[in-house]
């Protein structure tokens, strides 16, 4: 019998997204579905963990295992899930407020640990779910309900931050370029370690500055930089600084990356969820004796 080919339709469910028409998150959802299918995955092989915000709803709109966590804690949940079941492809997702504000501490430590999961941040440079306040990614002078006279804070540079923290995979996409985004997500999932993917995902309702047209004018695909080498961390940092963080594509990938799981002494390849949890009496008594 010929094995049926998995298509992106296998990753659709009956829950209709309630994002605003034109929201960039629709394209991110479609790119994830296509990437999973292109990699030959099935829904039961994937878990999508999300945080709070408009983008946090994505785990309920895709036919995989899903967990809608609390604000800023998507990565904490995703890391625990991956450690418990190494067989799962784990994708964490959220917005710039979720990952770069309340969840920044988890983001930094997930990067340095290099756990084998993919983190997709839908970056709209504003708080959309709470009706349009300044986010850590808003530009200086950005006027919102929380900064009516303009923001006086510098915007966070997430990819430069990721490189400085030791990230082994750094990429950036734009929701208007779905083909590039699909390829980036596929590469991130295949990468043996933590894959950091920032996605420009315009908020059409509350952000009237960073629009689709604005991004089209400002993004710089890595393919346009002659001789660009994504394996050179220093050049990746330099390119990000020269393009004011608007570089898209696979910006850096460490070819020698070793995941956190593979660094743990004695950590079995068999997932924890498939290992026998019952202790024999002799093992129990030996453990007790060790700590008495």
Supply 82's token pair: 């991956």
Please count the structural domains in the chain: 1
d(CA 111, CA 261): 13
Cβ proximity of 215 and 176 under 8 Å: yes
215 found inside a domain:
yes
pLDDT tens digits for range 47-97: 999 998 899 999 999 999 999 998 889 999 999 999 999 999 999 999 999
pLDDT string in tens for the chain (292-residue length)? 345 578 999 999 999 999 999 999 999 999 999 999 999 999 999 999 999 889 999 999 999 999 999 888 999 999 999 999 999 999 999 999 999 999 999 999 999 999 999 999 999 999 988 889 999 999 999 999 899 999 999 999 999 999 999 999 999 999 999 999 999 999 999 999 999 999 999 999 999 999 999 999 999 999 999 999 999 999 999 999 999 999 999 999 999 999 999 999 988 888 877 888 788 899 889 989 998 8
212 found inside a domain:
yes
Closest C-alpha to 175, from 154, 133, 204: 204
132 found inside a domain:
yes
Beta-sheet pairing, 247-253 with 169-174 = antiparallel
CA dihedral sign of residues 117, 179, 230, 40: positive
- At 273 the pLDDT is 77
141 found inside a domain:
yes
Helices (H) and strands (E) in the chain, counts: 10, 8
Q: Domain residues for 190?
A: 8-265
In Å, what is the CA distance from 77 to each residue of 36, 53, 119?
Answer: 21, 16, 12
277 found inside a domain:
no
Cβ proximity of 91 and 116 under 8 Å: no
Supply 250's token pair: 């696979």
- At 248 the pLDDT is 98
pTM of the model: 0.92
289 found inside a domain:
no
In Å, what is the CA distance from 220 to each residue of 198, 224, 242, 262?
Answer: 14, 7, 10, 35
- At 3 the pLDDT is 53
280 found inside a domain:
no
Supply 117's token pair: 């999961």
- At 272 the pLDDT is 77
Which CATH number do you get for residue 253?
A: 3.40.50.970
Q: At a CB cut-off of 8 Å and minimum separation 6, what does 288 contact?
A: none
In this structure, the number of other CB atoms found within 10 A of the CB of residue 161 comes to 17
278 found inside a domain:
no
178-190 helix and 25-38 helix, angle to the nearest 10 degrees: 50
Rg of the chain (C-alpha set)? 20
- Continuous H helices in the chain: 25-38, 74-84, 96-97, 104-113, 158-164, 178-190, 212-218, 233-242, 260-263, 281-290
d(CA 241, CA 260): 29
- At 4 the pLDDT is 57
């Amino acid at each position: 019998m010929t094995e049926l080919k998995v298509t992106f339709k296998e990753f659709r469910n009956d829950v209709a997204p309630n994002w605003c028409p034109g929201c960039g998150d629709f394209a991110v959802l479609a790119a994830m579905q296509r990437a999973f299918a292109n990699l030959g995955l099935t829904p039961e092989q994937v878990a999508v963990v999300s945080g709070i915000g408009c983008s946090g709803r994505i785990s309920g709109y895709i036919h995989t295992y899903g967990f809608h966590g609390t604000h800023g804690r998507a990565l904490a949940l995703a890391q625990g899930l991956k450690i418990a079941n190494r067989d799962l492809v784990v994708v964490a997702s959220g917005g710039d407020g979720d990952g770069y504000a309340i969840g920044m501490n988890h983001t930094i430590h997930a990067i340095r640990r290099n756990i084998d999961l993919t983190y997709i941040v839908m970056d709209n440079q504003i708080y959309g779910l709470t009706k349009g306040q300044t986010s850590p990614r808003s530009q200086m002078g950005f006027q919102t309900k929380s900064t009516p006279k303009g923001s006086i804070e510098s915007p966070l540079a997430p990819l430069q931050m990721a490189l400085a923290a030791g990230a082994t995979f750094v990429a950036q996409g734009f929701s208007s370029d779905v083909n590039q985004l699909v390829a980036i997500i596929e590469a991130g999932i295949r990468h043996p370690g933590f894959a950091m993917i920032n996605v420009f995902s315009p908020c059409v309702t509350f952000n009237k500055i960073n629009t689709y047209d604005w991004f089209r004018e400002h993004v710089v695909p890595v393919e346009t930089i002659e001789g660009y080498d994504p394996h050179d961390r220093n050049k990746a940092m330099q390119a990000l600084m020269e393009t004011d963080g608007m570089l898209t594509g696979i910006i850096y990938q460490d070819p020698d990356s070793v995941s956190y799981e593979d660094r743990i002494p004695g950590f079995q390849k068999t997932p924890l969820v498939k290992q026998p949890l019952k202790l024999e009496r002799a093992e129990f008594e030996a453990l007790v004796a060790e700590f008495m």
